[in-house]
Chain A
């Protein structure tokens, strides 16, 4: 059912009405410009990761037949990546016009968080503790499916674990390690944590055909390890 068109009877508008139209326009232009797409990670380190290289190879090998003016797939990739960099430089420069308004109104937005490509090589977070008077590392948090600690944690901790795998966040990693030490100490008051160790297991998701053929092995590979000495607890 179509709505009847509603227009004011007066062709002239009050300054309030004009201001409203101008404000709504400004808001929408600012938001739409801010959400223009760009690669969330475009540094050399990211581009050189095996997953990125594989993805770029699939993309450009598929597109090359439609771009015969480039001699090779490599030339095409180099030119397209350079154009993307130029676009991003210009985009971020112009975006500064809108940023003060969007930041003040809490309207900055990108929607990369749940939109990207699901990784074929997901990372699983692990926490080990070396307790006081211990003789070895003790697994404390295991984020693989089906473990007790997987059930104990909720999605927001998985957000943290994903974020902490990215470069930077040194202080936050240590704070997080201290947090796990505090939780260990609550459970094991007689053998408090002396050291905390994080690492990730890089899994390879088997294809559906592999799983159907009986190969569900995810080939866990240990990557990115950090270790901290737990500061003394002032309450003890």
Chain B
């Protein structure tokens, strides 16, 4: 095969849909949690409605043409309608009922919400928004879904491209975040003090950060600064590692070394620890949740099947195969 043919073949490879099913569930739950947090905290009207209807900020400076709010009034009725629509779509997406339509509804509403909350939004909202586009594109309802069980939409195989796009997106987030950690405090020039300074930010850190200056704690914050800045920056290695491990044998020392060990336990494990630490120490909403919800993109179908079977006691393989045969 020519290089182009190999390239086209790579993006058209197939796999069992279980990994996408697990990803669908985690993402759907994550979107639901994001909306429930806003509803419980009483933010919905303040964030999205016009001032006359109880909102905090006017809409006149928002010029994003793809926002629904350009076309519907920002009254409390419409705002609640769209929020409840996304919540409903997130739940149907989670259980895989009218999955594609649910993905479209989540995507369209998320664009509107993200644009409207200009001053309120933070990193997690951006993650939700870029994930929503991929959720809409990917065939995520092919297994462990009501679409497969009730509507005959189950498939034995789906394209690997979808999961690979999620993998790439997660790597892009981490690598880009690592690349811009150029300030002196991320290195020896600034005493590796970035984590210490982070836990001393009023408004982000949950408590006064004096505790981190303790003689036993400060070195740990320095170690955290070193480990997690390099962990983020080198996330592309995980992608290369997973790409190379598709084959059993490689020419060249570098390729063999990169493919030798499965790096997922290291990168995903450190990610779980880092986000858990952030969740405990800092008040930045559901950032950890949305990042974790993307991690199943790195889980292989056979592993996902075991996880799903373990979680739900629902062995979907036979059901999916029967649906596919039908």
Contacts and interface: CB of A to CB of B under 8 A. Distances in A.
Interface of A: 1-8, 11, 13, 17-18, 20-21, 24-25, 27-28, 31-32, 35, 37, 55, 58-59, 62, 103-107, 109-120, 122, 124-125, 143-146, 150, 154-164, 169, 171-172, 175-176, 178-179, 203, 205-212, 216
Given A35-B176, A124-B203, A109 B283 contact: no
A176 B202 contact: no
Contacts of B122: 113-114, 155-156, 159
B190 A58 contact: yes
A55 B180 contact: no
Given A24-B164, A111-B126, A216-B210, 8 more contacts: A7-B1, A20-B12, A28-B168, A35-B172, A114-B177, A156-B120, A159-B121, A163-B119
B214 interface: yes
B8 A13 contact: yes
Contact of B11 (A20, A37, A120, A203): A20
Interface range for B: 35 or more
B51 A175 contact: yes
Given A20-B161, A156-B43, A205-B200, A117 B186 contact: yes
A122 B123 contact: no
A158 B203 contact: yes
Interface stretch (B54-62, B73-81, B96-104, B316-324): B54-62
A172 B186 CA distance: 33
Contacts, number: 217
Given A11-B1, A13-B12, A155 B283 contact: yes
Nearest to A121: B197
Interface in B93-143: 107, 110-111, 114, 117, 119-123, 126, 129-130, 132-133
A1 B261 CA distance: 9
Contacts of B32: none
A24 B11 contact: yes
A11 to B, nearest CB: 6
B315 interface: no
Contacts of A172: 57, 61, 119
A114 B228 CA distance: 13
23 contacts: A3-B300, A6-B15, A13-B8, A21-B7, A28-B168, A58-B189, A58-B190, A59-B189, A111-B123, A111-B172, A111-B180, A114-B123, A115-B178, A115-B180, A117-B183, A117-B185, A117-B194, A119-B197, A145-B202, A155-B204, A155-B285, A156-B43, A205-B197
A6 B172 contact: no
Contact of B285 (A105, A112, A156): A156
Among A1, A3, A5, A13, chain B packs the most CB atoms within 10 A around the CB of: A3
B111 A106 contact: yes
Contacts of B202: 122, 124, 143-145, 150, 203
B169 interface: yes
A165 to B, nearest CB: 11
A28 B208 CA distance: 41
A107 B130 CA distance: 5
A119 B8 contact: no
A2 B256 CA distance: 12
B213 A5 contact: no
Contacts of A27: 165
Nearest to B128: A106
Contact of B173 (A7, A103, A111, A212): A111
